[in-house]
Amino acid sequence: MTKDEIDIIILGLLMNGPKHGYQLKQNVQGDYLKHFVSISVGSLYTRLSKFEAEGLIEGKLEPQDKMPDRTVYYITKAGKKRLKELVATPVDISGVLFLDMNSFVTHAIFFDHIGKKERIGVIEPYYSHIQAEIKHAAVSQATSAMHGITFSNLEMHTLGMGKNILEDIARYLEELRDL
């Protein structure tokens, strides 16, 4: 996970309202986000300090009964602007399918904060990459026998699963593009 993706998650979660660091960590570990992202406590507080210094968030000390005071973070106008810039930036394609998918999903979760034109600008490069991978998988399967490569039924079934996953991702991107 890149620093930009960590930034998207933290700023995006703060768009839903003020939170203290522990709440942010709990949100990341919640039912949905935990499947795509992980942020260490150290990374979280390092980023919060950096955001505060840059004026992207504002921390306010909140007193608590019988416990140490805690800092509650609020996103600023500059933070909202930065979130929109980050979400609208196309994902770097590493070529590792599941890493790329996680990067894309990190952006997609917060697509409500950008317009359709910007959303399509993020989707299209990733969609083109997935389409190229689908074609590559089909060609590889078709030409393997010509090159003397034989696969068992189990191997062919597993390779077919990879192509099916790519096709599912392509359908998801098409639907997302049309929303």
Segment 8-26 shows an average pLDDT of 94
Beta strands in 54-104 (DSSP E): 57-64, 67-75
Average pLDDT over the chain reads: 90
Task: Say how many C-beta atoms besides its own lie within 10 A of residue 162's C-beta.
Answer: 15
Name the amino acid, one letter, at 101.
M
Name the amino acid, one letter, at 39.
I
The predicted pLDDT at position 29 comes to 84
The predicted pLDDT at position 12 comes to 95
Q: 15-29, 142-156, 158-172: which has the minimum mean pLDDT?
A: 142-156
Q: What CATH number does the domain located at 1-90 have?
A: 1.10.10.10
pLDDT tier at 47 (50, 70, 90 boundaries)? Answer: very high
pLDDT tier at 156 (50, 70, 90 boundaries)? Answer: confident
